[in-house]
Structure 1
Amino acid sequence: MTIHGDHPFMDAESERKPVRRFRGRLPSPVGLWTSSYGGTRAGLTVSSMLVADGDPGIVVGLIDPDSDLWETLRSAKTAVVSLLGGPHQQLADAFGYVAPAPGGPFRMIDWTDTDWGPAPVGVTTWAGCRLVSDAPPEVGWSLQVHLEIAHVELLPDDQPALIHRRGRYIAL
């Protein structure tokens, strides 16, 4: 058995598209978007996202149109957007579907049911959001989903932020 320093599911850098490589050099926050509808929970790790201040504030994220999250979010019209910290790398991998999660990623930690969907216990920063449009524009391979921020939870935060850069997580 050999242990490699590279990600086992990632194409070699020279084989990736130049735009993907360009985007990969931008440090991105690691968010976990979760939603629930009719007893079904869905979630997805999202690093292609930004938050725009305003009245109301907006979260914009690029979401896979074939993901379970999009199907559930489109029905529920609400979501929780959590900002993950250094201790949550395994959770990010599980919801990004690049690491095993026996029984599913929702079994990895405890959750609090909110008016917007499930919020992970132990995450210090999250927002409860409402879907702006269930027909968002396509951008590249994804949908440009806009969520209106209805509630923000900011607990004391002494853990390093988790960011994504060049296919790797870095705790700042």
Structure 2
Amino acid sequence: MRPLWRCRACGAHWPCQPARLGLLVEYRQDRAALLVYLGGLMVEAGDQLARLHPQARPADLHERFLGWARARGGTMFHVNHEPGAEIHHTDPFAVPAGQRSPVRRLRGRLAAPVTLWTAPGPAGLTVSSTLVAEGEPDRLLGLIDPESDVWAAIEEAGRFAVSPLGPPHRQLADRFAGLFPSPGGLFATGSWTDTPYGPVPSDAGGWAGCRLDAAREYGWGLLVEATIEAVDLAEETMPLLHYRGRYHELT
């Protein structure tokens, strides 16, 4: 979000942890191009942030945009590395201690179910802020990125589908969160079932068809309110949970 240079999804200083991971995956074959790209953004951010924070140090900005992306000691950080592969002794995605938001840390300690929102188009997004409210009618709420493709598709179609994901869907969840490459498109792999509300994973624990009621800015995200019009539940499966930045399973 310019000129604040914070992530629209999580509110942390950009590039945040997910952004760094996504950039390393995108530029995994050309680290020099990544540094050139980040250098251009650093100059743009420096001009805008200097007006908001005159006391900011250029050295901090350099480390924020470029320091984490440099290869150190000839060892590259491996995404989804194979057993025995070398990784750097520090986490290149870690936010410096002084920049960690206590509110974000609190949110990280609230375990949340991982769901997939899809809409005709098709478009999709991994969402870990889905809440179901029983009533007459039954409702569904969620926080999503207002600039995401799925929101544009939901806004146009007026409907969408929500599927709870399970442990086998870790890679799918990363793909729709923009953290894993998707050659051929997000829906190019896997088995999908077409519904009037959007495609849903055939092996998910079910899905809910929702009609869009309203949406409004809420914090850094967009609060979406919808009415549940259809529910199709398969055999009960174990949920995939998001807790402190990682996926977890019930034991």
Query: TM-score under structure 1 normalisation?
Result: 0.89
Q: Find the counterpart in structure 1 of residue 31 from structure 2.
A: none
Q: Find the counterpart in structure 2 of residue 27 from structure 1.
A: 111
Q: Find the counterpart in structure 2 of residue 113 from structure 1.
A: 194
Q: Runs of at least 4 residues of structure 1 off by over 4 A?
A: 4-8
Q: Aligned partners of 1:99 and 1:68: how far apart in 2?
A: 16
Q: Find the counterpart in structure 2 of residue 103 from structure 1.
A: 184
Q: Find the counterpart in structure 2 of residue 150 from structure 1.
A: 229
Query: TM-score under structure 2 normalisation?
Result: 0.62
Instruction: Tell me: higher relative CO, structure 1 or 2? Use CA pairs within 8 A at least 6 residues apart.
Output: 1
Computed over aligned residues only, the root mean square deviation of the Cα atoms, in angstroms, reads 1.8
Q: Aligned partners of 2:238 and 2:90: how far apart in 1?
A: 23
Gaps of 5+ in 1: none
Would you say the 8 A contact 1:13–1:21 is kept in 2?
Answer: no
Larger radius of gyration: 2
SS at match of 1:105: coil
1:129 to 206, 210, 235: 210
Q: Find the counterpart in structure 2 of residue 56 from structure 1.
A: 137
1:164 paired with 2:242, answer yes
Would you say the 8 A contact 1:41–1:72 is kept in 2?
Answer: yes
Gaps of 5+ in 2: 1-75, 77-85
Task: Name the aligned partner's letter for residue 249 of structure 2.
Answer: A
Q: Give the direction of change, closer, same or farther, for the CA distance of 1:103–1:144 in structure 2 (3 Å limit).
A: same
Aligned residue pair count: 165
Q: Give the direction of change, closer, same or farther, for the CA distance of 1:7–1:57 in structure 2 (3 Å limit).
A: farther
Sequence identity (%): 50
Would you say the 8 A contact 1:78–1:116 is kept in 2?
Answer: yes
Would you say the 8 A contact 1:91–1:108 is kept in 2?
Answer: no
